[in-house]
Amino acid sequence: MDRADSWARALRCSAGESEAPLDRRAGLSPAGAPWLVDYRLDPATGAAWRRRLRGRSWSLWRYRELLPLADFERRVDLGEGGTPLVPLYRSAPPEVTVWIKDEAGNPSGSFKDRGLSLAVNRARELGAGGVQLASAGNAALALSAYAAASGLPARVALPADTPETVARRCRAYGAEVLTAPGTLLDAARRLEDGDGRFWTLATFREPYRVEGKKTMLLEVAEQLDWTLPDWLVFPTGGGTGVVAMHKAFVELEGLGLVSGPPPRIAAVQMAGCAPLVRAYEEGRKRVTPWPDPETRAWGLRVPQSLGDRLVLAALEATGGAALAVPEERIEGMRRRLAQREGRLVGPEGAAAMLGLEALADRGLVSAGQRVVVFQTGHPANYGLA
């Protein structure tokens, strides 16, 4: 395929040195690990690329050279990316500058649009007959929307207690909705009896959702005039966003556009479902599945992650942190942000703000530092005000 607009070179196994060509269907590597997209990066081209960005529309597609699409002109584009970076006025720790990266304005209402935009576009380019995934909510909405625009059949599997708002909107996009009692893993089993036409775009089981989500940090870099913050505070389920943003830093460094240490990444999970936090605190490289996960922050109810090794490595490489926050404080934080900052946030965004408070309480965020907190989804996606 012609890839004149992209610097993408090959797929690289995240657990070794093996490579694979971009233009074939990719699941896991022969080592059973996620593939990552590798790019040709030259510091001599970075300054010129930065200048070219100034004339481009404010969406994730402005970074086309760092995206693996084969045919840029024929992409399905719903207006994803280009989300605001908004200062906190009354809720930041003392003498700490905090911005909210608010992903609620994406087409289906969450940051999942970034990853699923790339994943569905690539599935379409490579000849998929349909697309599917299991989801706790936002990913199902994003897959359904992009599949509809791409002319692909879609199937989504939801835990039975997912808010009905999610299922209703997925059906409105034309997706088939399956449900199962139990966790996300139980829902995923409903997709195992497919007819082979449907490509599974689950977290880390294909290489392109990471590519879409890394544009969050590319945007933050531009919005802060190419000076990165001290901390990125991210509500974390499967952890694709954590891996993606660390990958974005490495690529910006390879282009000579940033220097110095990377932003420290804080992965925030719920106390009732914190497999990554437990593994990080115990110094382990892999997680063990979390038994009986309990949280109403649906996007964070992920009992295990196929990319656990990559997430934990990103936290270690950045000198980051992993934090578990209490369920009972979510609604209070949502009210506080609405009444003190004029921002409606989802449960995952509230969890991230609680994570910032925990960082400050531990003395890990200090006066003079700059922090970006990610508000990953609109509360209306779950039927919340």
Same fold, 85-110+209-382 and 112-200: yes
Say whether pLDDT at 1 is over 90: no
Q: Which amino acid is at 98?
A: V
Strand 97-102 with 370-375, pairing: parallel
Phi-psi bin for 17: left (phi > 0), alpha (psi -120 to 50), beta?
alpha
Contact 39, 106 (CB under 8 A): no
Q: Are strands 97-102 and 130-134 parallel, antiparallel or unpaired?
A: unpaired
What's the mean pLDDT in 309-320? 98
- For residues 306 and 316, what is the distance between their CA atoms, to the nearest angstrom? 18
Number of Cβ within a 10 Å radius of residue 205:
18
Instruction: List CB contacts of 318: < 8 A, sequence separation 6 or more.
Output: 246, 261, 262, 263, 264, 265
Match domain 85-110+209-382 to its CATH number in 2.60.40.10, 3.30.420.40, 3.40.50.2300, 3.40.50.1100.
3.40.50.1100
**Residue 262 confidence (pLDDT) above 70:** yes
| Phi-psi sector, 69: left (phi>0), alpha (psi -120 to 50), beta | beta
Helix/strand/coil for 322: strand
pTM for the model:
0.97
Farthest CA pair distance, the chain: 57
pLDDT score for 2: 56
Extents of the domains making up the chain? 8-59, 85-110+209-382, 112-200
User: What pLDDT shows up at residue 65?
Assistant: 97
In the chain the first and final C-alpha atoms are separated, in Å, by: 45
- Report pLDDT for 45: 94
Class of domain 112-200: alpha beta
Confidence band of 160 (pLDDT split at 50, 70, 90): very high
